[in-house]
Amino acid sequence: MYRNIFDTHAHYTDHAFDEDRDELLHSLPDKGVRYVMLAGCDVEDSKACAALADRYDYIYAAAGVHPENLENLPSDWLSQLRRLAEENPKIRAIGEIGLDYHYEGYDADRQKEVFIAQLRLAKELDLPVILHVRDAVGDAMEILRKYRPKGVMHCYSGSAETAKEVLALGLHISLTGVLTFKNARKAIEVLELVPTDRFMFETDCPYMAPVPFRGKRCDSSLIAHTAERAAEIKGMDTQEMLNACCETGMKLFGITE
């Protein structure tokens, strides 16, 4: 069994875990999971993430508004996020935040406005950001060049060329179980160029389960399969890879023993 698994992006507040959430979360440390970072999708979800993190020593949380969750945003959403982050020591990042132009009907201007406001909040609070960018690389990179946050590009799906610029901006890159898929050529190219001190594992659970669990509900323990594939690509020992990525995550999110 592996140890030092750090799942740097999980959604255990998702309804997919309603039936066995506590049973599962109690079991993960015995499966080698050392830390989990929960990502908030809106104000209420961020509060739920913080509450869940308060109940488990090994779980931390990020507070943020996802670019697809802007429709019913309360007028005081930003002050609520600020207060939540300032008052809860388990919140170690602002996220997940960014741009998502994948579905028709998106409001690019509104997404940029909310994204920039959260980047500014992260700077003011000296917190890293967890970035979500889908089908919006051009606009996102333009904003990131200007604001230069510390943080991680989660569930990275871009090109190796863009990854080089992401790294040049000082950001980290994390990959999911997609790395184990047959069509993972882009993810493999990215992993080959990312140094281990800038790379992290994540599940994005309940989604993105690695092979041989593809299509099933994912949880943090399944990172072991992604790590085996990543270690093979990097020519490293799997446990050595997990150790390095855990250390990288701890540094980024300010977690000390």
Please determine, for residue 27, whether its predicted confidence score (pLDDT) is greater than 80: yes
Peptide bond into 149 cis (omega under 30): no
Separation of alpha carbons 126 and 115, rounded Å: 16
Cβ proximity of 111 and 67 under 8 Å: yes
Q: Where are the alpha helices (DSSP H) in 1-91?
A: 21-27, 43-55, 77-87
CB-CB neighbours of 54 under 10 Å: 13
Q: pLDDT at residue 153 above 90?
A: yes
pTM above 0.95, yes or no: yes
Element (H, E) at 61: strand 59-63
User: Reduced to 3 states, what is the DSSP secondary structure of residue 192?
Assistant: helix
- CA end-to-end span of the chain: 22
Residue 257: predicted pLDDT: 77
Q: Give residue limits of the domains in the chain.
A: 5-252
Predicted pLDDT at 77: 98
Cα separation, 209 vs 220, in Å, equals 9
CATH of 5-252, one of 3.20.20.140, 3.30.110.30, 3.20.20.70, 3.40.50.720: 3.20.20.140
pLDDT at 45: 98
pLDDT of residue 50: 98
pLDDT, tens digit, 9 for 90 and up, residues 41-78: 999 999 999 999 999 999 999 999 999 999 999 999 99
Portion of the chain with pLDDT greater than 90, in percent: 99
Mean pLDDT taken over the chain: 97
> What phi-psi label fits residue 16: left (phi over 0), alpha (psi between -120 and 50 degrees) or beta?
alpha
At 178-210, the pLDDT tens digits run 999 999 999 999 999 999 999 999 999 999 999
Place of tokens 């875990």: 17
